Structure 1
Amino acid sequence: MRQPRIAVILDENTSTGGTRYEAAKGYFRGVRDAGGLPFGIPYLPEVVNSVLNEFDGLVSVGGRFAYPDDWYIAGEVSKAPPSERFDVERAIVEGYLERDKPVLGICAGMQMLACLNGCRLSCDLRLSFPAADEHDKRDHLHAVEIVPESRLARIIGKHRIRVNTFHREAIAQLSPAVVVSARADDGIVEAIEVASSSFAIGLQWHQELFADTVHPGNAVFRGLVEAARL
């Protein structure tokens, strides 16, 4: 059986000048262990058509870079640096959604999926949601409640799991095009699905960091690869 080819948008070192591509190995191991063949994708406009036409699925990874001002709720703008990643990734994600090819968005990748479908972000969730827990806390785990009957629930097979948390931004306004499939106990959106797509799932947590462990969330990589076989 042919192994699906999965494009993995690379991250970069925005905190030290954006001079290098970076990507956690867990993205590639997660796809590989699920039966796919992962390939890192640079921020070159010339590669967009090849990624759209020659790959079967997409992982949009985490990262720290600015989104347009109008992707945020009124009065807020991104505190992150700009990146050439944005235009390339946007073109690829939009192309995959138009072709109904499977997309898995993680952290920033989830926010890209959300905003391309009408949602809006808060640049600092603690300002917008004062009662929220701390979500930008390395080496911390918290529970998420997965919505029954959601695609994510069917893939993972559980309604409550523990995940990591490394995000300062969060979805603050939802659109009808997006379905929430998981929330933290404080109400922060932790996973979404694009209602019109066969497989377009976003996770706010970093599932790739669990790739070398036995964790129920790793099933999303299998779900992506299985969708890419269709």
Structure 2
Amino acid sequence: MTKPHIAVLMDENTSSGGNQYAMGKGYFTSIVRAGGLPFGVPYEVQILADVIAFSDGLLCPGGRFAYADTCYAGDLTSNSPPSGRVAIEKALIEGFLSLDKPVLGICAGMQLLGCLNGAKMTPDLLTTERGAMPHDEAGRMHPVSISAGSKLSQIVGASQIDVNTFHREALVSVTDNIVVSARAPDGIIEAIELPGHKFAVGVQWHPEKLTNDASNIALFDEFVRACRCF
């Protein structure tokens, strides 16, 4: 059986002045383990149409960068560095969704998937979200409650799982065309999905770092399966 070709948008090392890509290996190894054929996508506008046509699915990874001001709630703005990633990621997500090709957003990738569908963000959840617990601590794990009947619930087969947490920003509101499929104990949105699409799922945590966890293995398995069925 032909392996599905999965586009993995490269992240940018914004601390280096924007002249280097930077990616954790786990994104690629998780796709390979699930039976997919991943390849990195650079920020080159002229190749995007070919990437969308050639690929069977898209993975958008984590990262730290400033989104457009319109992505933030109220008059909030980001203090993170700007990145050429945002325009490229927007074009890729819109292109893949227009063909109903599977999209998996992780951390920052989830946030932009939400914002492109009307969600709003905070640039610093500890500052703006009353009662929020720390979410940006290496080695920290916390539970998330999975919404019954959601695609994520079907994938992980549980009402609660433990996840890692590496983010300061977070979605704080969504529109009716977004399903919130997981929340942290403090109410922070931890996963979303777009109903009406074969597979359009975003998770705030990093499943590519939880390589021995059955629930997160299942997430990559289902993503690659959806790409194979395209």
TM-score interval (norm. to shorter): over 0.9
Query: C-alpha distance in 2, partners of 1:139/1:19?
Result: 29
Question: With structure 1 as the length reference, what TM-score do the two structures score?
Answer: 0.97
Aligned to 2:178: 178
Aligned to 1:81: 81
1:229 matches 2:221 = no
Question: With structure 2 as the length reference, what TM-score do the two structures score?
Answer: 0.97
Query: C-alpha distance in 2, partners of 1:6/1:50?
Result: 13
Residue 110 of structure 2 aligns to a residue whose secondary structure is: helix
Residue 76 of structure 2 aligns to a residue whose secondary structure is: coil
Residue 201 of structure 1 aligns to a residue whose secondary structure is: strand
Residue 145 of structure 1 aligns to a residue whose secondary structure is: strand
Contact 1:73/1:122 (CA < 8 Å) preserved in 2?
Answer: yes
AA paired with 2:40? G
Q: Unpaired runs of 5+ in structure 2? A: none
Contact 1:177/1:196 (CA < 8 Å) preserved in 2?
Answer: no
Aligned to 1:63: 63
Residue 140 of structure 1 aligns to a residue whose secondary structure is: strand
Query: C-alpha distance in 2, partners of 1:108/1:206?
Result: 10
Q: Unpaired runs of 5+ in structure 1? A: none
Single out whichever of 39-48 and 13-22 deviates more from structure 2: 13-22
Number of matched residues?
A: 229
Query: C-alpha distance in 2, partners of 1:12/1:129?
Result: 28
Query: C-alpha distance in 2, partners of 1:214/1:139?
Result: 15
Aligned to 2:169: 169
Residue 31 of structure 1 aligns to a residue whose secondary structure is: helix
> Which string of whole-angstrom CA distances, capped at 9 and with x for unpartnered residues, describes residues 2-55 of structure 1?
110000001121123222111111000111111100101111101201111000
Q: Displacement of 1:89 after TM fit?
A: 1.1
Query: C-alpha distance in 1, partners of 2:190/2:204?
Result: 5
Query: C-alpha distance in 2, partners of 1:18/1:196?
Result: 36
Q: CA RMSD in A?
A: 1.0
AA paired with 2:58? L
AA paired with 1:197? H
Identity in percent: 48
Aligned to 1:12: 12
Query: C-alpha distance in 1, partners of 2:132/2:70?
Result: 24
Aligned to 1:140: 140
Query: C-alpha distance in 2, partners of 1:191/1:214?
Result: 17
Query: C-alpha distance in 2, partners of 1:4/1:79?
Result: 38
> Which string of whole-angstrom CA distances, capped at 9 and with x for unpartnered residues, describes residues 125-182 of structure 1?
1122120110111110000111111100111111111111011011111111100000
1:194 matches 2:194 = yes
Query: C-alpha distance in 2, partners of 1:141/1:16?
Result: 29
Q: Displacement of 1:77 after TM fit?
A: 0.6
Aligned to 1:112: 112
Query: C-alpha distance in 1, partners of 2:139/2:213?
Result: 17
